[in-house]
């Protein structure tokens, strides 16, 4: 009966203690062993999700703040999760833009100027420099080599 009186006088405190005790006895060890694996998988999926978001709409999601808003996380959280995955936003964005550029150059047979515009580069020269950094070839040389 004393425990019941204690629960009545400090209901929220007692409930929290009981909940914590129950949690640690029933789910604590299982979560402790499974937690890191589940988190690492979700982080890998996060970088893939970010890359897919940028690939599908490079005009809207070129900047980290827009991607973070879409994923419903802060920019700092997005950065931290990508860093835990061994990457960063710039690498993921560059990979997505590079893949999209290759697809547009080769599959859709677009010119370098058209690709630059579709990827939201302000100047075709900026796209050419970025593509050369990504692939080691200019867009025209890349197209010629792949034909």
pLDDT tens digit string along 80-125? 999 988 999 999 999 999 999 999 999 888 899 999 999 999 999 9
The ranges of the chain annotated as CATH 1.10.10.60 are: 40-146
Exposure string for 116-125, b = 16+ CB within 10 A, e = fewer: bbbbebeebe
Q: Which residue has the tokens 């920019």?
A: 75
pLDDT tens digit string along 34-82? 333 344 455 447 899 999 999 999 988 989 999 999 999 999 999 999 9
**pTM score, whole prediction:** 0.68
- Say which CATH architecture domain 40-146 belongs to: Orthogonal Bundle (1.10)
CA distance 120 to 118: 5
């Amino acid at each position: 009966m004393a425990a019941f009186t204690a629960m009545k006088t400090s209901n929220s405190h007692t409930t929290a203690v009981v909940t914590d005790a129950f949690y640690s006895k029933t789910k604590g060890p299982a979560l402790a062993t499974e937690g890191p694996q589940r988190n690492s998988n979700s982080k890998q999926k996060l970088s893939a999700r970010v890359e897919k978001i940028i690939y599908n709409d490079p005009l809207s999601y070129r900047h980290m703040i827009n991607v973070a808003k879409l994923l419903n996380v802060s920019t700092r959280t997005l950065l931290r999760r990508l860093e835990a995955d061994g990457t960063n936003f710039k690498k993921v964005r560059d990979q997505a833009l590079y893949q999209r550029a290759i697809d547009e150059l080769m599959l859709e047979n677009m010119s370098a100027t058209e690709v630059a515009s579709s990827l939201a580069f302000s100047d075709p020269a900026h796209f050419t420099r970025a593509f050369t950094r990504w692939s080691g070839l200019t867009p025209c040389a890349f197209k010629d080599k792949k034909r």
